[in-house]
């Protein structure tokens, strides 16, 4: 399985830099000069290797220079590229409170009272905060804000939620 560590959002300037939405907790090493990145091209375009020739922080995102991308037109063509790593290359280590998304996908979700809610299918990283996507046994999706007040317990074995009134009303 692949883990997305970044996505090219757009070009920046006229010299071929790209703006990357960072999705890793270690951008300095993932996007360091000389790093080789496996990129999935948009719209079924396959995969390609990219080599970073420069990187700098840009307001919570990264600006990257990539070998062979020397002008705005070439940078524009890369919009939507996803930078990937194999999930086997990472794990959350010994900290019981830190997880990678892929370690939680498929984990059963219950209420703090023990009632089954469903299974975690995705974690959305939205500008307003992270959101859990839980698929119920009936096949519906429930969006759960991933905040401590609503999701007090998270392990790789189970996730407990304390939903506010109305969150689980599916009708």
Tell me which DSSP letter residue 89 carries: G
Instruction: Quote the distance between the C-alpha of residue 70 and its chain's center.
Output: 28
pLDDT in tens, 123-158: 888 778 889 999 999 999 999 999 999 999 998 899
Look at residue 12 and tell me if it is in a domain: yes
Look at residue 94 and tell me if it is in a domain: no
Domain's final residue, options 67, 88, 109: 88
The domain total for the chain is 2
Q: What share of the chain is helix, strand, coil (3-state, %, to 5)?
A: 10, 45, 45
Rg (CA), the chain: 19
Together in a domain, 122 and 58: no
Look at residue 93 and tell me if it is in a domain: no
pTM exceeds 0.75 for this model: no
pLDDT in tens, 81-127: 999 887 666 655 555 566 778 788 999 999 999 999 999 999 888 77
Check residues 2 and 117 and name the one with the higher pLDDT. 117
Q: What is the CATH number of the domain that holds 32?
A: 2.40.30.60
Residue 55, classed as helix, strand or coil, is strand
User: What is the domain range of residue 122?
Assistant: 101-161
Together in a domain, 127 and 68: no
pLDDT in tens, 41-64: 988 888 999 999 999 988 888 999
């Amino acid at each position: 399985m692949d883990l997305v560590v970044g996505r090219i959002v757009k070009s920046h300037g006229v010299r071929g830099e790209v703006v990357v939405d960072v999705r890793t907790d270690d951008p300095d090493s993932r996007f360091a000069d000389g790093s080789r990145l496996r990129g999935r091209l948009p719209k079924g375009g396959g995969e390609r290797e990219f080599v970073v020739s420069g990187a700098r922080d840009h307001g919570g995102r990264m600006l990257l220079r990539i070998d062979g991308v020397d002008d705005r037109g070439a940078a524009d063509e890369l919009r939507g590229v996803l930078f990937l790593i194999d999930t086997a290359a990472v794990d959350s280590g010994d900290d019981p409170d830190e997880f990678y998304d892929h370690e939680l996908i498929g984990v059963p979700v219950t209420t703090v009272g023990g009632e089954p809610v469903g299974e975690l299918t995705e974690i959305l990283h939205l500008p307003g905060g992270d959101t859990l996507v839980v698929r119920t046994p009936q096949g519906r999706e429930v969006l759960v804000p991933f905040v401590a007040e609503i999701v007090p317990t998270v392990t790789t074995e189970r996730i407990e939620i304390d939903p506010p009134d109305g969150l689980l009303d599916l009708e």
